[in-house]
Amino acid sequence: MKRMEEKILAEGVVMPNGVLKVGSFLNQQIDTRFLVEVGEEIARLFKDSGATKIFTVEASGIALAVVAGIAMDLPVVFAKKNRQLNVNVETYSSMVYSFTHGADTKIVVSKEYIKPGEKLLLVDDFLAHGSALNGLIAIAEDAGAEVVGCCVAIEKSYQNGGDNLRARGYRVESLAIIDQLVETDILFK
Amino acid sequence: MKRMEEKILAEGVVMPNGVLKVGSFLNQQIDTRFLVEVGEEIARLFKDSGATKIFTVEASGIALAVVAGIAMDLPVVFAKKNRQLNVNVETYSSMVYSFTHGADTKIVVSKEYIKPGEKLLLVDDFLAHGSALNGLIAIAEDAGAEVVGCCVAIEKSYQNGGDNLRARGYRVESLAIIDQLVETDILFK
């Protein structure tokens, strides 16, 4: 998606620790007009996927999932992080390692919202090592749901999470694929 | 908003601890078609407010803030919870006590995204004791921004957070106001 690359080049900042900061338009601050375009692009890519639900993880996946859900007229479910859900609620969970934060996070979703046979489109903001998507896939498998595709705003191809998922047979679409972050420069694939 | 009351009556569940669970349509799972209506209702209520930005806190405020932002053509900013932002980023923060979780949470936002003179519309899913909105207001004051209004999906009037804010002069609009949760019954105001 050309517009995603343009936004990253115009507003993205490469931090000294190799983190790409897109807080001005994608998380922390959200450019809603741009986000609507992103939702429409996700809908275009996955219109024939047969998805029945969008599945993401809080917090920065939610905005993307919502615009995708609006464009595709599908409900959204998001897994919660490190939280007790209400008592007496049965849950699926998996562990996700965050390289940014250097810690494991447990993600949890109520069994009510992911049903066997459901066709899930996974959506997230970043795909680097693939931890978050792998955590969502583990929950989908546990629930007996099918993952019909994964769509992320920004993939860092040099961290291999995307290619590992593709090698396992998943359809992974990234709206921008970053090949290299050179000091404070960004090179697309 | 009649539709919000109908949704709560149809799908809301009162938990034994007095928590109203609306996970099937408002958080955890999101009914995107309904959410678009909610965004339009927020836009209708605050069309003359002069708001220049929507301000919320992760995670369950994000979906509402995004649809309000789309309907009002405004950017959204969300405060993050208990998290280090990138190094070298200057932040505003405040403490929010969660009665549901029985713990204090620090909410943080980069100074880049809340500027002096900005007119903020605060959006959140629940208003009970008002802790989250008070935390957002504290950040707005710190930043020299103006709060032009607060809009929540569901207010629990018996916990007084809304009335305390109104007494301080804030315009607070709630799409449904719950007067009482009686065992497993819900009574609107």
Q: Please, are residues A74 and A53 in contact by the beta-carbon 8 Å criterion?
A: yes
Residues in chain B: 189
pLDDT at B188: 84
Q: What is the pLDDT of residues A161-182, one digit of tens each?
A: 999 999 999 999 999 999 988 7
CATH entry, B38-177, from 3.40.109.10, 3.40.50.2020, 3.30.70.860, 1.10.10.10: 3.40.50.2020
Cβ contacts of residue B75 below 8 Å, gap of 6+? Answer: A29, A30, A31, A32, B53, B54, B69
Q: Please, are residues B82 and A101 in contact by the beta-carbon 8 Å criterion?
A: no
The confidence band for A84, taking pLDDT boundaries of 50, 70 and 90, is: low
CATH annotation of A2-188 = 3.40.50.2020
Which is it for strands B103-110 and B76-81: parallel, antiparallel or unpaired?
Answer: antiparallel
CB contact under 8 A, B32 and A73: yes
Mutate to test the interface with B, among A26, A28, A101, A181 (most CBs of B within 10 A): A28
The confidence band for A19, taking pLDDT boundaries of 50, 70 and 90, is: confident
Model-wide pTM > 0.80: yes
pLDDT at A181: 83
Please count the other Cβ atoms lying within 10 Å of the Cβ belonging to residue A154.
22
Alpha carbon of A38: minimum distance to chain B alpha carbons (Å): 13
pLDDT at A185: 67
pLDDT at A9: 93
Q: What is the pLDDT of residues B100-119, one digit of tens each?
A: 778 899 999 999 999 999 99
Torsion sign, CA atoms B65, B66, B72, B74: positive
**Who wins on pLDDT, B159 or A18?**
B159
pLDDT > 80? residue B126: yes
Q: What is the pLDDT of residues A144-159, one digit of tens each?
A: 999 999 999 999 999 9
pLDDT > 80? residue A100: no
pLDDT > 70? residue B183: no
CB contact under 8 A, A24 and B112: yes
pLDDT at B184: 63
Please count the other Cβ atoms lying within 10 Å of the Cβ belonging to residue A53.
21
Q: Which residue has the tokens 């609620």?
A: A89
Q: What is the pLDDT of residues B161-175, one digit of tens each?
A: 999 999 999 999 999
Nearest to A32 among B23, B31, B76 (CB): B76
Q: Which residue has the tokens 């983190």?
A: A19
Residues of B whose CB is below 8 A from A57: none
The confidence band for B41, taking pLDDT boundaries of 50, 70 and 90, is: very high
Range from A43-52, A76-85, B82-91 carrying the lowest mean pLDDT = B82-91
Alpha carbon of A167: minimum distance to chain B alpha carbons (Å): 30
Percent of chain A with pLDDT over 90: 80
Residues of B whose CB is below 8 A from A59: 58-59, 62, 78, 80
What is the distance between the alpha carbons of residues B46 and A20, in angstroms, rounded to a whole number? 35
CB contact under 8 A, A28 and B66: no
Q: What is the pLDDT of residues A71-83, one digit of tens each?
A: 999 999 999 997 7
- Mean residue pLDDT of chain B comes to 93
What is the distance between the alpha carbons of residues A119 and A126, in angstroms, rounded to a whole number? 22
Q: Which residue has the tokens 């562990």?
A: A95
ipTM: 0.93
